[in-house]
Chain A
Amino acid sequence: MIRFTHVSKEYPRTGVAVNNVTFELGKGEFVFLTGPSGSGKTTMLRLAYMEERPTSGDVRVTGMHTSTIRQRDIPTLRRRLGIVFQDFRLLEDRTAEQNVAFALEVTGAPRSAIPARVSRLLSQVGLASKGTSYPRELSGGEQQRVAIARALANDPVVLFADEPTGNLDDRATRGIFQLLRGINAAGTAVFMATHDLDLVRRSEYRIIEMNRGQIVYDSAESLASVPTPPPVRSSPA
Chain B
Amino acid sequence: MRLTLRETALGLRHAPLLSTLSVITIAFSLFTFGLFGLVALNVSRTLRGVEERVEIRAFIADGTPVEAVAAALGDIGAFPEVQSAVEVTSDEALARARKEMPEFQDVFQAGVLPASIEVRLRPGYRDPATVQAVASRIQTYPFVDDIRYGQEWVVKLYNIRNVAGATGLVLGVAFAAVSIIIIGSTIRLAVLAREREISIMRLVGATNGFIRRPFLIDGLLKGLLGGGLALLLTWLAHLAIDRYLIPTTFFDRNIAILGVVCGGLIGLVGSALSVGRHLRGI
Contact = CB atoms under 8 A, between A and B. Distances in A.
Nearest to B10: A93
22 contacts: A72-B207, A72-B208, A75-B205, A75-B206, A75-B207, A78-B203, A78-B204, A79-B205, A83-B203, A89-B200, A89-B203, A91-B200, A93-B10, A102-B200, A103-B204, A103-B205, A106-B201, A106-B205, A107-B206, A150-B204, A153-B204, A154-B205
Interface string A90-115: 01010000000011011100000000
Contacts of B203: 49, 78, 83, 89
A76 interface: yes
Given A102-B200, A150-B204, 7 more contacts: A78-B202, A78-B205, A79-B204, A89-B200, A103-B204, A107-B205, A154-B205
B45 interface: no
The list of the 6 closest CB pairs from A to B, nearest first, reads A79-B205, A78-B205, A106-B206, A103-B204, A75-B205, A75-B207
A130 to B, nearest CB: 19
B134 to A, nearest CB: 64
A109 to B, nearest CB: 11
B210 to A, nearest CB: 6
B3 interface: yes
Nearest to A151: B204
B14 interface: yes
B197 interface: yes
Candidate in A79, A91, A93 with the most chain B CB atoms within 10 angstroms: A91
A89 B204 contact: no
Interface of B: 3, 10, 14, 196-197, 199-208, 210
Interface in A141-186: 150, 153-154
Contacts of A103: 204-205
Candidate in A49, A72, A93, A105 with the most chain B CB atoms within 10 angstroms: A105
A102 B204 contact: yes
Interface residues of A, number: 19
Contact of B204 (A72, A93, A106): A106
Contacts of B207: 72, 75
A153 B204 CA distance: 9
A136 B202 CA distance: 23
Nearest to A79: B205
Contacts of A77: 205
A103 B204 CA distance: 6
B165 to A, nearest CB: 46
A106 B201 CA distance: 7
Interface string A65-77: 0000000100111
A83 B202 CA distance: 11
A79 B205 CA distance: 5
Nearest to A73: B207
Contacts of B206: 75, 106-107
A38 B203 CA distance: 23
Candidate in B201, B203, B206, B210 with the most chain A CB atoms within 10 angstroms: B203
B240 to A, nearest CB: 43
Contacts of A105: 3
A75 B212 CA distance: 14
A93 B199 contact: no
Contacts of A72: 207-208
B276 to A, nearest CB: 13
Contacts of A106: 3, 201, 204-206, 210
A150 B203 CA distance: 11
A106 B3 CA distance: 8
A188 B196 CA distance: 27
Nearest to A76: B205
B199 A89 contact: yes
A152 B18 CA distance: 34
A79 B202 CA distance: 10
Contacts of B200: 89, 91, 102
Contacts of B10: 93
A79 B203 CA distance: 8
Nearest to B206: A106
Contact of A89 (B14, B196, B205, B208): B196
A78 B202 CA distance: 8
Contacts of A93: 10, 14
A85 B229 CA distance: 44
Nearest to A94: B10
A69 to B, nearest CB: 14
Contacts of B210: 106
Contacts of B204: 78-79, 102-103, 106-107, 150, 153-154
A210 to B, nearest CB: 23
A77 B204 CA distance: 10
A23 to B, nearest CB: 23
B280 to A, nearest CB: 9
